[in-house]
Amino acid sequence: MSFRWKDYRAKGRTRHKTMTLSADEFMRRFLLHVLPTGFLRIRHYGLLANVGRREYLARVRDLLDVPPPEPPKEARSETPRPTFVCRCCGAVLRVVEVFPRRGMFVTTVEFRDLASLCEVRTVLEIYGARLAAERASETERQELAGLVAELDRPEAHDQRALMAFDRRIHQAIYRCAHNEFLARTLEEYYVLALRIWHLALDQASGLEAAVQQHRPLLEAIRTGSGDDAAEIMRRHVDDFERAMRRVMLGA
């Protein structure tokens, strides 16, 4: 692949050059300019250009006889936001996730996240369940029947195995919706809910009963009943929020 590019270090006619790269190397370089999801690129020019912003602004303030701004004070709410704390040391619990090629992110998990998260999941999960019931192929409906059969197995599951099975069910439903963007978004929000679930794992009870709630949901999708699937999914997300409230706040 060949393309023209401008070399700003060169002068005159030699500034415009041609470069030839393999397709893989071209895509690698191109994707270096693509920001991760949720980030926004902001470019500043003139007085706000990074190369001399501090000196430029100081000179402008001096010419206008304007004092430099005071450092911003941290806004404090009269009502502290509840957070999940360690029962041993009292420190705020933090969730650490590693993203390939993006490094490690450490975030504070707060109860406010649960309410906002479930508010969004209720809308998206309902829509996804309805689409799944309408669009699932015959092969996918057979896959859902296999998941129902796994629910009927008598052997006991530990907590983490049940969580893994719950995720498999949700991922199968997302695939049945046949909407790549919706499936990707639902998966992101499911992972966030999974974070909170992991925090309450040692305190939560009735996990197997919660997973068993998927039986009528899978049957509704398998039989093509979109209205039933949407209503069952709504109750499922609502039950998750109430269960987490009981565990974390005793509400």
Residues 71-111: pLDDT tens digits?
766 555 555 554 555 555 555 555 555 455 544 444 555 55
Residues 208 and 144 in one domain: yes
* Residue 249, pLDDT above cutoff 70: no
Q: Are residues 47 and 136 in the same domain?
A: no
Helix (H, G, I), strand (E, B) or coil at 76: coil
Do 124 and 209 lie in one domain? The reply is yes
Residues 114 and 219 in one domain: yes
Question: Does residue 239 surpass a pLDDT of 80?
Answer: yes
79 falls within a domain = no
User: How many domains does one find in the chain?
Assistant: 2
CB 108 within 8 A of CB 84: no
Together in a domain, 119 and 238 = yes
In the structure, what pLDDT confidence band is assigned to residue 201 with cuts at 50, 70 and 90? low
- In terms of residue numbers, what domain contains 153? 106-249
Per-residue pLDDT tens over the stretch 17-60: 999 999 888 888 888 888 777 777 777 778 778 778 888 888 88
Report DSSP letters for 7-67, one per residue. Answer: -TTS-GGGGEEEEE--HHHHHHHHHTTPPPTT-------GGG-TTTHHHHHHHHHHHHT-P
Using one digit for the tens of pLDDT, what is the confidence trace for 110-119?
556 777 888 8
pTM, rounded to two decimals = 0.55
Together in a domain, 119 and 204: yes
* First-residue to last-residue Cα distance in the chain: 61
Q: How many Cβ atoms from other residues are within 10 Å of residue 180's Cβ?
A: 10
Going by C-alpha positions, the residue among 195, 175, 196 that lies closest to residue 184 is 175
Tell me, yes or no, whether 72 lies in a domain. no
